A and B are shown apart, each in its own frame.
Chain A
C-alpha cells in the first residue's frame, strides 16, 4: 500500500438551496485520511456527516475548499477519471440498502464489476468469492427482496468490496440493524480493514462503533468540533482482540 494514497480535504464548504432557504451544511471542514486507517465521522442527525462523506467520495463537489485524492486535486480530474476512481478504488455502503429488487443477490453484488466492464465469467467468480466470504453463497441466486435486514446489509458490503477497493465509505452501516446483527456487520468491516488493509470511513452516530475506529471526527452544525488523534497501529491491536 503506497503511503501517498491519502484523502486530504481542506476547508470544505457546502450549502444547499439559495436565498432565504439557503442552508450551509458544511462550513469549512478539514479532514485527512491515511491509507489503512479506520475513521469515524460522528455527529447528530443533520449535522452534515453524509454531506461530508459524499464530498470525500467525489460524489459531489464542494462549494469552496480543496480536496486531494492520491496527491491529485479533485478539481483537475476529468469526469471520466472520477468515475474510474469511484468504480475501482472506492466501495460504498449507503444509509439505505439500495439493492435492485427482482435481481439476484449475485447480480446485485457484481454491479460495480459490470460497470467496470469485466467479463461475465470473471465477474461471477469474484462475486461468488465475496459471497462465500460473507457466508451468503447459498443465497446467491435468491432475489434481493427475499433477504432479512442483516443479510441485505451483508450483500451491500459484498457489493462495496467486490471491486477490491482501497477505501470503503460506509454511511450508518448498522443503522438499520439490531445490536447483534449490527455487531456481525461491524466485525466484517473491521476484519476487512485488518486482513486486506482497506481504509474505512464510517459515518455513524453510534459511540460504540466510533470507539472501535482508529480516529473519531466529531461534527456539529457543519463544523469539526473535536479530533481524536491516535496512532492506528494501536487501534489494530485492539481490533484483533475484539474480532477474534
Chain B
C-alpha cells in the first residue's frame, strides 16, 4: 500500500464512527486548548518581563549603592563622619529608604575591583516641566538610570550615550498632550525642558527627541543621554560647584565573559567592601520565579488532561480494531503486511491527535487573541506593552507535535493488536 493511500485510508477510517471520533477529539481538544493558552500566558508575561528588564538595564550591569544604613532602634545615634556621612534618598529599596552617598573615592574603589570594567555615577536631576513650541508645559521627570538602559520603543531609536547632542526618549503618554500627531511625528523634534537651580533661578534646556518609549512598570520617566543629564545637572547646580560630589547610585559594567559563579563572587567582593551590588536579574528574579511556577502548574494540569485523553484514544482504537476484525483479516489475507496494518492504525491515532490539537490550538488562538485585546483595553490597561497571551508559532507547533506524539504512543497498543491478528482467526470471527 502506498503511503498516500495509507494516509487517505486512515483519515477516512477516522470518520467512519463520527460520534466516537468526535468525543475522543473533544477530550484532546480540551488538553491542547489549555496547553496552548498556558504556554501563551507564559510567553506573554515573560516577554513583558524581558522588556521591563531591558528598560532597567543590560545583563552586564550592577546597580551599586552603599550598603543600607542599618540603624535599628536601640543602636543609638551614629557618630557623624564628614567623609562619608552625606545621605541621599535613593530609588533603590522601599520608598523613603536612604542610603549613604557614594563619593568619588567610592567610585574609584569600585572601579578598581577586579572584574569591574567601568563605573558611572547616576546623577539625578529634577526638571520642572517639558514644553514643545510654546505649547502647554507638562510636569516631567527623568529616569536617572536611562543612560544605561534599553527603552521599550514604539518609534525612533535608543539613546546614543556617546553623542554630544542632548537627546531625550519621550514616554508615549506625552506624545499627544505636547501636540504631536503621532509617535513618529515626535521623533526628531526639539523640546524645551524647564529646570530650577538651587538658588531658585529658572533655566531652559533644549533637547532632541530621538525615540518614544512605552511606559515601563519598573523604570518610570523619560530617558536622557549623558549629554542632556550633564547639561541639566549643570543648570540645576546654578554654577556652584558643591564641595563634595556625592551620588546615590552608581552603575558598574562588568566583564560579560564572567560566569554566573564569578558574578556571585564579584558581588561578594563588593559586599565586603561595603557596597550593595545587584543585577537586574536579582531584582526581577523573584517575580519571574513566581510567574514560571504558576505557568508550570497550569501546564501540568493541561498535560494531565492530555494523559486522560490518551486513554480515550487507546479505548477508541481498541474498539475500532475489534469492530474491524474481519476487515483487518481480509486485508491481511489479500497480502497486506502486519507492518502496514500497524502503520494504518497508528496513522488513525495520529489523525485523531492532529484533529484535536489543531482545533484546540486554533480555538485557543482565536479566543485568546480576542480576550487579550479586551483585557489590554480594560483590566490590564495600566500595563502598556503587556500582551497577556502571546501565541508563538513555534510553541503552538510544539503543542500540536506533542499531542500527535502522545496520540501515536496511545495508538501503539491497538495498532499492535491489529497487526498481530491472524487472518484466518479474523475471518472466522463472528
Contacts A83-B337, A86-B335, A88-B335 given; does A115 touch B1 at CB 8 Å: yes
Q: B333 contacts which of A92, A96, A117, A120 (Cβ < 8 Å)?
A: A92
Contacts A102-B16, A114-B1, A117-B2 given; does A84 touch B427 at CB 8 Å: no
Chain B nearest CB, measured from A172 CB (Å): 13
**In the bound complex, do residue A117 and residue B1 qualify as a contact, i.e. CB atoms below 8 Å apart?**
yes
Q: A115 contacts which of B326, B329, B334 (Cβ < 8 Å)?
A: B334
Chain A nearest CB, measured from B93 CB (Å): 74
Tell me what chain A mostly uses at the interface: helix, strand, loop, or mixed: helix
**In the bound complex, do residue A87 and residue B427 qualify as a contact, i.e. CB atoms below 8 Å apart?**
no
A112 at the interface (CB under 8 A from B): yes
A60 at the interface (CB under 8 A from B): yes
Separation of A3 and B16 alpha carbons in the complex (Å)? 46
Q: A59 contacts which of B5, B16, B423 (Cβ < 8 Å)?
A: B423
**In the bound complex, do residue A87 and residue B335 qualify as a contact, i.e. CB atoms below 8 Å apart?**
yes
**In the bound complex, do residue B335 and residue A98 qualify as a contact, i.e. CB atoms below 8 Å apart?**
no
Write the chain A residue with the least CB distance to B1.
A115
Chain A nearest CB, measured from B66 CB (Å): 80
A79 at the interface (CB under 8 A from B): yes
**In the bound complex, do residue B427 and residue A83 qualify as a contact, i.e. CB atoms below 8 Å apart?**
no
**In the bound complex, do residue A94 and residue B427 qualify as a contact, i.e. CB atoms below 8 Å apart?**
yes
A74 at the interface (CB under 8 A from B): no
Chain A, 57-84, contact with B by CB distance < 8 Å: what is the 0/1 string? 0011000000000000000000110011
Contacts A114-B5, A117-B1 given; does A79 touch B16 at CB 8 Å: no
Query: Which residues of chain A are near B327, meaning CB under 8 Å?
Result: 98, 100
Chain A nearest CB, measured from B112 CB (Å): 78
B331 at the interface (CB under 8 A from A): yes
Separation of A102 and B331 alpha carbons in the complex (Å)? 16
**In the bound complex, do residue B331 and residue A116 qualify as a contact, i.e. CB atoms below 8 Å apart?**
no
Give the interface size bracket for B toward A: 10 to 19
Write the chain A residue with the least CB distance to B324.
A100
Query: Which residues of chain B are near A86, meaning CB under 8 Å?
Result: 333-335
Chain B nearest CB, measured from A55 CB (Å): 10
Chain A nearest CB, measured from B269 CB (Å): 72
A192 at the interface (CB under 8 A from B): no
**In the bound complex, do residue B335 and residue A84 qualify as a contact, i.e. CB atoms below 8 Å apart?**
yes
Query: Which residues of chain A are near B335, meaning CB under 8 Å?
Result: 83-88, 112, 115-116
Separation of A85 and B427 alpha carbons in the complex (Å)? 19
Query: Which residues of chain B are near A117, meaning CB under 8 Å?
Result: 1-2, 5
Contacts A79-B337, A116-B335 given; does A98 touch B330 at CB 8 Å: yes
Give residues 80-127 of A contacting B (CB, 8 Å).
80, 83-88, 92, 94, 96, 98, 100, 102, 111-112, 114-117, 119-120
A54 at the interface (CB under 8 A from B): yes
Write the chain A residue with the least CB distance to B425.
A60
**In the bound complex, do residue A115 and residue B333 qualify as a contact, i.e. CB atoms below 8 Å apart?**
no
B105 at the interface (CB under 8 A from A): no
**In the bound complex, do residue B1 and residue A98 qualify as a contact, i.e. CB atoms below 8 Å apart?**
no
Write the chain A residue with the least CB distance to B2.
A117
Contacts A60-B424, A98-B427, A102-B16 given; does A80 touch B334 at CB 8 Å: no
**In the bound complex, do residue B326 and residue A83 qualify as a contact, i.e. CB atoms below 8 Å apart?**
no
Tell me what chain B mostly uses at the interface: helix, strand, loop, or mixed: helix
Write the chain B residue with the least CB distance to A115.
B336
Give the interface size bracket for A toward B: 20 to 34
Query: Which residues of chain B are near A54, meaning CB under 8 Å?
Result: 424
Separation of A114 and B7 alpha carbons in the complex (Å)? 12
Separation of A138 and B427 alpha carbons in the complex (Å)? 29
Give residues 127-175 of A contacting B (CB, 8 Å).
none
**In the bound complex, do residue B16 and residue A92 qualify as a contact, i.e. CB atoms below 8 Å apart?**
no
Chain B, 212-254, contact with A by CB distance < 8 Å: what is the 0/1 string? 0000000000000000000000000000000000000000000
Chain A nearest CB, measured from B55 CB (Å): 60
Chain A nearest CB, measured from B27 CB (Å): 24
Write the chain A residue with the least CB distance to B3.
A117
**In the bound complex, do residue A111 and residue B334 qualify as a contact, i.e. CB atoms below 8 Å apart?**
yes
Query: Which residues of chain A are near B340, meaning CB under 8 Å?
Result: 115
**In the bound complex, do residue A115 and residue B423 qualify as a contact, i.e. CB atoms below 8 Å apart?**
no
Write the chain A residue with the least CB distance to B12.
A103
Query: Which residues of chain B are near A83, meaning CB under 8 Å?
Result: 335-337
Separation of A105 and B333 alpha carbons in the complex (Å)? 19
Separation of A226 and B330 alpha carbons in the complex (Å)? 32
Separation of A98 and B329 alpha carbons in the complex (Å)? 9
Chain B nearest CB, measured from A171 CB (Å): 10
Separation of A94 and B326 alpha carbons in the complex (Å)? 11
**Which of B1, B2, B330, B337 counts the most A-chain CB atoms under 10 A from its CB?**
B330
Chain A, 24-60, contact with B by CB distance < 8 Å: what is the 0/1 string? 0000000000000000000000000000001000011
Separation of A60 and B423 alpha carbons in the complex (Å)? 8
Write the chain B residue with the least CB distance to A163.
B334
Query: Which residues of chain B are near A119, meaning CB under 8 Å?
Result: 2
Query: Which residues of chain B are near A88, meaning CB under 8 Å?
Result: 335
Give residues 179-223 of B contacting A (CB, 8 Å).
none
Separation of A42 and B79 alpha carbons in the complex (Å)? 121
**In the bound complex, do residue A98 and residue B334 qualify as a contact, i.e. CB atoms below 8 Å apart?**
no
Separation of A143 and B5 alpha carbons in the complex (Å)? 20
Query: Which residues of chain B are near A87, meaning CB under 8 Å?
Result: 334-336
Chain B nearest CB, measured from A226 CB (Å): 27
Going nearest first, the 6 A-B pairs with the smallest beta carbon separation are A87-B335, A83-B335, A86-B335, A115-B336, A98-B330, A112-B334
Q: Give me the interface of B with A, judged by CB distance under 8 Å.
A: 1-2, 5, 9, 16, 326-327, 329-331, 333-337, 340, 423-424, 427
6 more CB-based (< 8 A) A-B contacts, given A59-B333, A87-B336: A83-B337, A86-B335, A92-B334, A114-B5, A117-B5, A119-B2
Q: Can you list 19 A-B contacts with CB-CB less than 8 angstroms, sorted by A residue number?
A: A59-B333, A59-B424, A79-B337, A80-B337, A83-B335, A92-B333, A96-B326, A98-B329, A98-B427, A111-B331, A112-B334, A114-B1, A114-B5, A115-B335, A116-B1, A116-B335, A117-B2, A117-B5, A120-B5
